[in-house]
């Protein structure tokens, strides 16, 4: 980890640069404040010197920012991919990516908590909003997170540099990730970068308040970003066994980010027989809304089928691409990969998407993939599926475990011989004393005792939905 101190850089800049930085900082004591207006002013009025080295574009206003924005692949036509971890959840995600040695990208960590920021492996770090938060965090307040990111807009822009593609990883529901991620996305789009957000939604047991904050943050981020992938943490509970280790469970969730970044980096940077370039990726993801990025791999006799089906399944997210309007898939295999296998992959993906979808495909011969085929899939435009997936975890469902389980379950309970429960029917306005409920079989005797018991049971079951002025069974008793 690089040291935080960079006094030499401050000395070279001089007081003139410090004065300039001070003039463009927002007045944190001024009220009322519009973070969006301040951000717009900063981004529009202060443009970076794109001809200077990236280390010279780093601001010196933040002593916890490390000015090491170096390009690991400094070629003239290299696509600059930046992965930004915002808040604690985003920083954990990029730390695990760095442990996996994902190449071809730059990592930047941003947080309002200086103590947590010091633990990241990312070489580039920004402590957001030190004037406002004093490096002590956002306290779970999304407005504080947004204000902190707005205050550090110049440092964020310098860290992004001339990025072509920016991934933003954050956890929704807290302060920094929820509030700062939309600001980072807005700055990235202002410099012309393609922006992809990969965010997590809180567990159900974290409460309705945190869920509401997450949904608001998700809406704010959606308006500032090209493509968005959401990872409900509740999927961890429904996917893994009870004895699954916590670290292993979160590692699988972070693989969603890893697969997206690694897949796109390989598609762009590895030339193929049928080549896919960054312009193709941009055409699929630009203003795409909901997106899915997954990697499927197969071995043996049915390797093409296995790879295609694994990619289509969406991995951990279990989100189908059916109905997608824009799709890019790249097929990688050894020198023994056949044209028939490429056609098989294309047919299986084509049968799972919209007939009128725009399709881009590539093929790469990789000698390292012996007896293996790998399919990298990028799909976008699944608006209806996205809406249903978010609906499955919306706040008003948190009080009803039955509704949540039904939204994730595709196996009907009738498979075990049980009949489905019909929805409750409204109570009859004025039923006759001996009238049987419509839901009861005609074989039941119409004795007064039976009629009374069944009517009473029906009315008790309907009290939760609708309470009549006088229950039917009481009216029946009065008439007797």
Q: What is the CATH number of the domain that holds 157?
A: 3.40.50.1440
Residue of 138, 135, 237, 225 whose CA lies nearest to 188: 225
Residue 140 is part of which domain span?
78-269
Structure tokens at 296: 């499927």
Do 103 and 237 lie in one domain? The reply is yes
Do 230 and 320 lie in one domain? The reply is no
Per the model's pLDDT, the better-predicted residue between 3 and 225 turns out to be 225
Per the model's pLDDT, the better-predicted residue between 464 and 256 turns out to be 256
Domain assignment of residue 63, yes or no = no
Domain assignment of residue 401, yes or no = no
In this prediction, residues 232-257 reach a mean pLDDT of: 78
Reply yes or no on whether the pLDDT at 336 is more than 80.
yes
Do 247 and 362 lie in one domain? The reply is no
CA distance 372 to 155: 44
Per-residue confidence (pLDDT) for residue 96, from 0 to 100? 87
Per-residue confidence (pLDDT) for residue 103, from 0 to 100? 82
Reply yes or no on whether the pLDDT at 242 is more than 50.
yes
Per-residue confidence (pLDDT) for residue 316, from 0 to 100? 66
Domain boundary at 338, 364, 387, which? Answer: 387
Do 263 and 172 lie in one domain? The reply is yes
Do 108 and 252 lie in one domain? The reply is yes
Domain assignment of residue 404, yes or no = no
What percentage of the chain carries pLDDT values higher than 90? 37
Reply yes or no on whether the pLDDT at 349 is more than 50.
yes
Number of folded domains that form the chain: 2
- Compute CA distances 224 → 40, 111, 123, 211, whole Å: 13, 20, 26, 20
Confidence at 398, pLDDT banded by 50, 70, 90:
very low
Confidence at 222, pLDDT banded by 50, 70, 90:
very high
Structure tokens at 384: 């209806």
pLDDT, tens only, 81-121: 999 999 998 998 899 888 888 888 999 999 999 999 999 98
pLDDT, tens only, 113-143: 999 999 998 999 999 999 989 999 999 899 9
Do 180 and 111 lie in one domain? The reply is yes
Do 83 and 232 lie in one domain? The reply is yes
Contact 114, 148 (CB under 8 A): no
Per the model's pLDDT, the better-predicted residue between 289 and 242 turns out to be 289
Domain boundary at 211, 238, 269, which? Answer: 269
pLDDT, the chain, mean: 72
- Binding residues for GTP, by number, are 88-92, 175-177, 206, 210, 254
Do 212 and 159 lie in one domain? The reply is yes
- Binding residues, by number, are 88-92, 175-177, 206, 210, 254
Contact 194, 226 (CB under 8 A): yes
Domain assignment of residue 40, yes or no = no
């Amino acid at each position: 980890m690089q040291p935080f101190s960079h006094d030499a850089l401050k000395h070279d800049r001089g007081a003139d640069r410090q004065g300039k930085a001070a003039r463009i900082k927002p007045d944190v004591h001024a009220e009322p404040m519009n973070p969006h207006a301040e951000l717009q002013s900063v981004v529009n009025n202060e443009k970076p010197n794109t001809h200077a080295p990236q280390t010279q574009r780093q601001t010196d206003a933040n002593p916890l920012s490390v000015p090491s924005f170096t390009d690991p692949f400094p070629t003239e036509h290299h696509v600059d991919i930046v992965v930004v971890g915002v808040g604690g959840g985003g920083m954990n995600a990029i730390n695990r990516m760095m442990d996996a040695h994902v190449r071809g990208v730059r990592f930047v960590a941003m947080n309002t908590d200086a103590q947590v920021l010091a633990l990241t492996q990312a070489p580039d770090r920004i402590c957001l909003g030190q004037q406002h938060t004093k490096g002590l965090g956002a306290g779970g307040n999304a407005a504080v997170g947004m204000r902190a990111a707005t205050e550090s807009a110049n440092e964020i822009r310098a860290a992004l540099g001339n990025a072509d593609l920016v991934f933003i990883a954050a956890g929704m529901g807290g302060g920094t990730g929820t509030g700062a991620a939309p600001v980072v996305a807005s700055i990235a789009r202002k410099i012309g970068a393609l922006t992809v957000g990969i965010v997590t939604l809180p567990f159900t047991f974290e409460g309705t308040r945190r869920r509401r904050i997450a949904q608001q943050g998700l809406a704010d981020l959606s308006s500032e970003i090209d493509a968005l992938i959401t990872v409900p943490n509740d999927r961890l509970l429904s996917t893994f066994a009870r004895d699954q280790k916590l670290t292993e469970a979160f590692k699988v969730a972070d693989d969603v980010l890893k697969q997206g970044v690694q897949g796109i980096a390989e598609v762009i940077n590895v030339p193929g027989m049928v080549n896919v370039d960054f312009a193709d990726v941009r055409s699929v993801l630009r203003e795409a809304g909901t997106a899915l990025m997954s990697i499927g791999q197969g071995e043996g006799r049915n390797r093409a089928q296995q790879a295609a089906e694994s990619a289509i399944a969406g991995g951990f997210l279990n989100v189908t691409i059916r109905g997608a309007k824009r799709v890019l898939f790249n097929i990688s295999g050894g020198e023994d990969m056949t044209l028939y296998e490429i056609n098989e992959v294309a047919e299986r993906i084509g049968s799972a998407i919209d007939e009128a979808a725009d399709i881009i495909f590539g093929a790469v011969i990789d000698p390292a993939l012996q007896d293996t085929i790998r399919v990298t899939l990028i799909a976008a435009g699944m608006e209806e599926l996205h809406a249903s997936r978010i609906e499955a975890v919306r706040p008003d469902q948190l009080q009803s475990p039955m509704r949540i389980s039904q939204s994730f379950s595709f196996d009907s309970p009738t498979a075990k011989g049980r009949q489905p429960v019909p929805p409750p029917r409204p109570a009859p306005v004025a039923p006759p004393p001996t009238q049987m409920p419509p839901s009861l079989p005609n074989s039941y005797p119409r004795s007064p005792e039976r009629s009374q018991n069944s009517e009473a049971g029906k009315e008790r079951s309907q009290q939760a939905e609708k309470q009549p002025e006088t229950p039917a069974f009481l009216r029946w008793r009065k008439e007797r």
